[in-house]
Chains A and B, each alone.
With several copies, the nearest count.
Chain A
Amino acid sequence: MKTINMDHVAASSLLPEVVEAMMPFLSEKMGNPSSMHSLGEEVTEALEEARGQVAGLINASDQEMVFTSGGTESNNWALKGMVLANRSRGNHIITSSIEHFSIMHAIKALEKQGVEVTRLPVDKYGIVDPDDVRKAITPRTILISVMHANNEVGSIQPIAEIGKIAREHGVPFHTDAVATVGVIPVDVKALNVDLLSLAANPFYGPLGTGALYVRKGVRIEPLIDGGIQEQGLRAGTENVLGIVGMGKAAEIAAGELESRMAHLIPLRDRLINEIPASIEEVEPVGHRTQRLPGNASVLVRYVEGESMLLFLDMEGIKIASGSACISRSLKVSHVMLAMGIDAGNAQGSLLFTLGKDNTNEDVDEVVRILPPIVQKLRDMSPLYKRTTKFKAIG
């Protein structure tokens, strides 16, 4: 059976060129980048090349890129490092109500330490109003952190505008761009950001590798102290293999960005149009155009996401769901709740994240296979076609 992977947000295969770039570091080119003899030099050069490649992808300069173990570390560091560095200036952070867990929980940890937080609402498309940012700024605000795009609902935030407001008020601005770097054009200067988190996998680099862009002049404390690596900002022997892979993937992404988008957008739009056309009571989630190119998110009423995923998996189709039963916390997605979606309906979330390898035929397959699965599950559902004492959902 052919496997159709439409869960690229979970993991994408490495590009062959990326694997090729990594191979030498699996064997002969071993060396600790911090040691000074020639074994180490080769590796240092490879790291610096990768740094340039990643910087190039987002229009940063090399010294502004600090490697990390992924988007989660970058996000934690941006928040905690800025709070540590600016405690004397203030105590207030502004963020949105639809951030990734790595922002949300890091902020909760900071709240426990006495940091005050404003969480901005979003509209029904999951988009923050820049005016709300302006209104939330106080003289004690030390950081604004709003994500560039949310993978669960696909909507892209007006980061450049928020950045402009932040800069007018002299407040440092961070964006979690894990979902966008290497996927849509990201230019740290055009976006007016001071800090930007990225990870390698969304552009077909290795899992567990990322970076934080720290604009020249921004003062941040390390999260991981201890050495000379990464200009003293992030200690620890580097994950050379991962970084080399990320560099190569970034270089390729920079060249292919436009063609990848041109490939993904029509596929995405077919899913968003054809699934609701072939199944009754299905609604698209998020903004229709201000949206990640490969992201199609829908809600199917009266059925729960995981059960749909399992049946799709048996047919070789891999997708994701924002259903509570899948999140280990058994909580309904805070993102959907923030968009005003009812908790019951959010259970029926299906999330398709497309990649380079997906084709029109893949979309045909999904549109063919999904309706009978939904029908079968609805036939079992006590919520379908019933008016009972259970409150109608939605």
Chain B
Amino acid sequence: MYSDVVMDHFKNPRNVGEIPDADGVGEVGNPACGDIMAFYIKVNNNVLEDVKFKTFGCGAAIAVSSMVSEMAKGKTLDEAMQISNKSVIDALNGLPKKKHHCSNLGADALHRAIEDYRSKQQGKIAERPLDGPEVCSCPVCDVNDPEEAPYCSSVCERTTGK
């Protein structure tokens, strides 16, 4: 079901863990749908000096987190913001279709960590996307009103916004 690259990252995930004094933290997901990802970044001179993650999820979710962390490390913030769903899937040599939403999460969590860092730099509190629509049904997971689900709400906004 999974490519060798996916299985390799699943078996030996790179950069697992937390950074206690992280410069930015990004979390997405919702236990109801089986995904929660947290990314921690250390930034030096606009470059991602260190990236770590923690993930609750399936094999694909773990491999995606690991791959995203590897792709991001050493990149500038702007470059890291370019890491997309598709580039992660490509780097993993493909994912089964039903697992594509897991790969959404990885890039989202990283981007959120970068946004968190940037807003801290500007002295703002990171905007939580929780103030999306009040009742929302996740089109990916078919979950109604996902509880405390930053990622899921953003999916909602995206799909209803378009």
- Total number of A residues with any Cβ neighbor in B under 8 Å: 31
A362 to B9, alpha carbons, bound, how many Å?
28
Binds B, one of A2-10, A64-72, A177-185, A301-309: A301-309
Bound CA span A310–B58, Å: 9
Identity of the chain A residue whose Cβ is nearest the Cβ of B10 in the assembled complex: A310
Are A381 and B34 in contact, with the CB atoms below 8 A? Answer: no
* Residue with the greatest number of chain A CB neighbours at <10 A, chosen from B13, B32, B58: B58
Q: A325-B58, A330-B98 are in contact. Are A390 and B37 (CB under 8 A)?
A: no
Residue contact B31 to A307, C-beta cutoff 8 Å: no
Chain B residues 1 to 23 lying within 8 A of chain A, measured CB to CB, are 1-2, 7, 10-11, 13, 16
Q: Which of B37, B54, B57, B142 contacts A307 (CB 8 A)?
A: B57
Query: Judging by beta carbons under 8 Å apart, are B55 and A382 in contact?
Result: yes
Q: Do B55 and A331 touch (CB < 8 A)? A: no
Of all chain B residues, which has the CB nearest A326?
B58
Which residue of B has the minimal Cβ distance to A310?
A: B59
A307, A379, A383: the one within 8 Å of B58 (CB) = A307
Q: Which residues of A contact B78 (CB under 8 A)?
A: none
Chain A hits for B37, CB < 8 A: 382
Enumerate chain B residues within 8 angstroms of A332, measured Cβ to Cβ. Answer: 32, 143
Using known A-B contacts A307-B57, A307-B62, A380-B13, determine if residue A347 contacts B101 with beta carbons closer than 8 Å: no
A15 close to chain B: CB less than 8 A: no
Evaluate contact between A391 and B148: CB separation under 8 angstroms: yes
- A328→B1 CA distance, assembly (Å): 13
Asked if A307 and B59 sit within 8 Å, CB to CB, the answer is: yes
Q: Which of B7, B31, B141 contacts A331 (CB 8 A)?
A: B141
Do residues A382 and B140 form an inter-chain contact, with CB atoms below 8 A? no
- The verdict on A344 contacting chain B, using a C-beta distance below 8 Å, is yes
Q: Are A380 and B54 touching (Cβ within 8 A)?
A: yes
Contacting residues of chain B (47-106) with chain A, CB-CB under 8 angstroms = 54-59, 61-62, 98, 101
Q: Are A41 and B1 in contact (CB under 8 A)?
A: yes
Contacting residues, chain B, for A302 (C-beta < 8 A): 56
Q: Is A113 an interface residue (CB 8 A)?
A: no
Given contacts A310-B10, A331-B143, contact A390 B36 (CB under 8 A): yes
Residues in chain B near residue A328, CB distance under 8 A: 98
CB within 8 Å of A: which B113-162 residues? 140-143, 147-148
B11 surroundings in chain A (CB, below 8 A): 314
Residues of chain A in range 98-139 having any CB-CB distance to chain B below 8 Å: none
Q: Is A36 located at the chain interface by the 8 A CB criterion? A: yes
A383 closest partner in B (C-beta) = B56
Interface centre among B11, B16, B62, by most A CB within 10 Å? B62
Report whether B16 and A380 are in contact in the complex, using a CB–CB cutoff of 8 Å.
yes
In Å, the complex CA distance between A188 and B7 comes to 40
Q: Is the CB of A53 closer than 8 A to any CB of chain B? A: no
Most buried by B among A325, A332, A381: A325
**With the chains together, A330 CA to B152 CA distance in Å?**
13
Which residues of A are found within 8 Å of B7, using beta-carbon distances? Answer: 310
B38 near A: Cβ within 8 Å? yes
Per-residue 0/1 for A290-309: is the Cβ within 8 Å of any B Cβ (1 yes, 0 no)?
00000000000011111100
Chain B residues contacting A198 (CB-CB under 8 Å) are none
Give A302 to B142 CA distance when docked, in angstroms: 22
A-B contact list, 19 entries, CB within 8 Å? A305-B58, A306-B34, A307-B62, A310-B59, A314-B11, A324-B33, A325-B34, A329-B142, A330-B33, A330-B140, A331-B143, A332-B32, A380-B13, A381-B55, A382-B36, A382-B56, A383-B36, A389-B148, A390-B31
